[in-house]
Structures are given as structure tokens and as C-alpha cells.
Chains A and B, each alone.
Chain A
Amino acid sequence: MEIRTAKEGTATIVTVAGKLDAVTAPEYEKAISALIQSGDIRLIMDFAELGYISSAGLRVILAAAKQIKARDGRLAFANLSGNVREVFDISGFGGIFALHGSVSDALAGLG
């Protein structure tokens, strides 16, 4: 797994590549937590290069969403495909989060 972050105006785009599983999720959680703690609460999670997610990854996402909401921030997702999209749908995450087909759509959706 590899994590990259980029700023776009007031938003922070976090791109994760590879697999988000029980082994790698703690490192992703650390990175996301650090961003939220430092006040980056307008987040876009870009999953264009993510090929796999399990409930360990979903856990990190839901915990982040709760923290961001408590701080009045915004969270959106971009570029979910295949397996990742399917796991989101089964878990109901497709219904409670804003999913976009591109980072620019997700940026526009943040408002």
C-alpha cells in the first residue's frame, strides 16, 4: 500500500494505492488521523489505484467520517471500482457517503 496526499484549494486529496486490508489499514488510519488532527477536515479519498478493500479498511473510513463530521468537515470519495465498489455497496457505505466518478467531481461536491 502507498499513500499520497495533495492539496487543492482548501481540500486535501488522499490517494491510496494497492490493498487496504487488515495488515495495511493501521498505516492508512495513522495517515488519515494525522491529517484530521492537523485540521485537514475537507478530505477526498481517491481510490483510483485501490484494488482491494476489506472491513478493516471500512473501519478506518467510518472512524474518519465520524471525526470529520464532529469537526464540521466534509468527506467525499472518488473513483471506486470493481471489488471496492462492491464492498462499499454490501456494507451500505455507498448509501451514506458521497461517491464520485472523478476527483474534480468530488471537489465540486465538497461545496
Chain B
Amino acid sequence: MAAALTLAATVANLGAALDFVAGQAEALGLSERKAARLAVALEEAYVNVCNYAYPAGQGDVTLTCAGDGEFFQVSLRDAGIPFDILDQPEPDIAAGVDDRPIGGLGGRLIRELSDRVAYRREAGDNVLTLAMRRERPEGQAGLD
């Protein structure tokens, strides 16, 4: 089962994007702790689409959630210019206040907060998939 939501890729729609994914994550059994990590990773990915995918104007982003196996996952698909946020240079996180450039942390946050992440270019779209491992509730044996 997958659920999808298409939004105009604007920062004003960030709340709608986060709410949709949080609702799906809860329904599909992702723990609160994992959902909190996913929310930040999702914001970074979503805002990146808003800011860079459509330099010539407006476009859409489609969020698709699925979670019937080991992972809960959300994909962000946009028809914008090719851009892989995972392929950006690693920021120097040891640099002091004066030497640190402002920005450039989105890719690192996505990589570190997600359990799995993948980018692909498919049929002219950017598709970024973030996945979180689902944890079984304490004391319950699972059969998956």
C-alpha cells in the first residue's frame, strides 16, 4: 500500500508535507523517535526541491509513502533540473565560527538522520527516497 500527495513545491507547503508523512509514518508503525529524525531529513530534502528544482518558476513535488516491510519509506519526486543533494561536498563540521560557511548542511543531515537514502534520475524526474527501519514494539515478536 502506498499513499501519495502532490504539492506545489513551496516552503509555505512544508507543514502540509511534514503532516502528511508524519500521519503515514504513524499509521505504518514507525516509532516516534524515528519519525522525529525522518521529519528533519524530509524537511531538508523538501526545501531543497523548493529552492533549486525549478529555477525558471513553479513546479510540483510528489511525496509517496510506503511501509509494508522492514522499512518505512518516503520518496520525493520532482520534474526539475537534475540535482542530487547526496552528491554535495561534505561540510567541515570541525571548523570554528569564523571559518564555517553558512549553509551546506542539508545533505549531511539527510544522510545521517535517515537509515537509508538513495537518489535516482528517472524519466526526467529527480527521485530521492528516504527510508527508516521500523522497530518492533517492546516485547512483541514479529513475523516479517
Q: What per-residue 1/0 map shows which CB atoms of A55-69 lie under 8 Å from chain B?
A: 110110011011001
Asked if A92 contacts B98 (CB within 8 A), the reply is no
CA distance A54 to B103 in the complex (A): 11
Asked if A95 contacts B109 (CB within 8 A), the reply is no
Asked if A23 contacts B102 (CB within 8 A), the reply is no
Instruction: Name B's interface SS.
Output: helix
Decide if A111 is an interface residue (CB 8 Å cutoff): no
Decide if B15 is an interface residue (CB 8 Å cutoff): yes
A21-B14, A65-B97, A92-B93 known; A54+B43 contact, CB < 8 A: yes
CA distance A97 to B1 in the complex (A): 45
CA distance A65 to B113 in the complex (A): 25
Complex A-B: 9 CB contacts under 8 Å? A21-B43, A53-B40, A54-B40, A54-B47, A55-B106, A56-B47, A59-B102, A90-B113, A91-B105
Residues of A within 8 A of B (CB): 21-23, 52-56, 58-59, 62-63, 65-66, 69, 82-83, 86-87, 90-92, 95-96
